[in-house]
Amino acid sequence: METADLGLPVDVPSTALFTDHYELTMLQAALEAGTAERRSVFEVFTRRLPDGRRYGVVAGTGRVLDAVENFRFDSDVLGFLREREIVDEETLQWLAGYRFSGDIWGYPEGEVYFPGSPIMRVEGTFAECVLLETVILSILNHDSAVAAAASRMASAAGDRPLIEMGARRTHELAAVAAARSAYVGGFATTSDLASGFRYGIPTVGTSAHAFTLLHDTERDAFRAQIDSLGRDTTLLVDTYDVAEAVRVAVEIAGPELGAVRIDSGDLLLVAHRVRQQLDALGATGTKIVVTSDLDEYAIASLAAAPVDAYGVGTQLVTGSGHPTCSMVYKLVARAESADPKAPLVPVAKKASGGKTSIGGRKWAARRLDEHGVAEAEVIGTGPVPAELADRQLLVQLVKGGQVVARESLDVVRDRHAAARANLPLSATQLSRGEPVLPTEYL
């Protein structure tokens, strides 16, 4: 069930201050100069993928749409800006009536992207578009980083399910966004109840070491958990002695025991020993769940182990070493005047050190080879070649200020699985490498 429209407490009443000070000072100066109403095009892209990554994952689009809808300067926000003298009274009056009325196009959430991909395009007046820069980048950089890590972990896990368990390793609101992004990237469940409440993601959980330590004996703890949660629960078996814990667990629950969880030690070795012991005790259907600071490399190393599911926390919510995607929000075209009919002029920053941009309102398409596998990310500013017309990537998300493309997370999750499957096989290699698709400009 989607609950995004309920105004739940994991949201904020306004996103207007999720921005940088200079966005408002630019607005004030542009209003005074008479340039604020010039039609403008901003694009979100990244100049490079994180070191060694083969592809990126677009995530957070749905949250961007929510943020744009909630970008309102209410009396409390305006009072703060007035008290701090951040902008003048004329600008405050303009902000009081702010409503984004432009258009937003973007890669559909769950799609993959590459260096230069115009992941999102925001069109409207300079004034209304520039204010959205920080909040859009904040969401896309965080969520896409987590989704990319999740995608790599899901690829390494194969058919084995992944549990998101990172809430205690990050900010409480970031944890909700991270669980959402992990689900997009291929995780099956989360331990975070706020994520289940806000986005309908399936939640799971049974007990921690504290529950075992609370009781006089491990047997008492197992008995209490089974009596309360049933024989198909998951028992944590590494508080004391793993072999003894497994023996007692099966003795109490019988072969119907749902699963055991291992959270420490040499997971490869311990998993094999536990599987052998479970089978010898007749609990052939009891699953093995492993946790303990896993990342995609650790998951891949356990591919041959008798493991049924993985729980991942710290490495997931921190992007597995890459907590941001280095996305930027750049003005690429603007009109010569405030006349709505004035033509757009391409603009771009000229800089050294790899910070150059390409001006112009862009389209993007993915070219396929003769086998239907993606072979290039093609980006242009002119007419779209006929052979790429049906391979265009950007879809309209907001039209005239109204959201037109809100989707369920299950649709987004399925899209990502399909997009990843459409890439060359080398995309799923965990070894360092260049982007799996080249970016071509027309």
Query: Do residues 162 and 186 make contact, with C-beta atoms less than 8 angstroms apart?
Result: yes
Q: What residue spans define the domains of the chain?
A: 21-146+361-441, 155-321
CA distances (Å), 135 to each of 61, 219, 320, 381, 392, in order?
12, 51, 23, 26, 26
Task: Reduce the DSSP state of residue 288 to 3 states and report it.
Answer: strand
Taking alpha carbons only, the member of 391, 365, 368, 359 closest to residue 379 is: 365
Domain at 21-146+361-441: CATH code = 3.20.140.10
Torsion angle, alpha carbons of 131, 133, 135, 140, to 10: 160
The C-alpha atoms of residue 260 and residue 266 are separated, in whole angstroms, by: 16
Query: Do residues 425 and 362 make contact, with C-beta atoms less than 8 angstroms apart?
Result: no
The C-alpha atoms of residue 229 and residue 246 are separated, in whole angstroms, by: 18
SS3 content of the chain, % helix, strand, coil (to 5): 40, 20, 40
pLDDT tens, the chain, 442 aa long: 344 444 444 455 689 999 999 999 999 999 999 999 999 999 999 999 999 899 999 999 999 999 999 999 999 999 999 999 999 999 999 999 999 999 999 999 999 999 999 999 999 999 999 999 999 999 999 999 999 999 999 999 999 999 999 999 999 999 999 999 999 999 999 999 999 999 999 999 999 999 999 999 999 999 999 999 999 999 999 999 999 999 999 999 999 999 999 999 999 999 999 999 999 999 999 999 999 999 999 999 999 999 999 999 999 999 999 999 999 999 999 999 999 899 999 999 887 666 778 999 999 999 999 999 999 999 999 999 999 999 999 999 999 999 999 999 999 999 999 999 999 999 999 988 899 999 999 9
Helix (H) or strand (E) holding 305: none
Taking alpha carbons only, the member of 144, 131, 120 closest to residue 73 is: 131
**CATH among 3.20.20.70, 2.80.10.50, 3.40.630.10, 3.30.470.20 for 155-321:** 3.20.20.70
339 DSSP 8-state letter: -
Task: Reduce the DSSP state of residue 313 to 3 states and report it.
Answer: coil
The C-alpha atoms of residue 432 and residue 53 are separated, in whole angstroms, by: 7
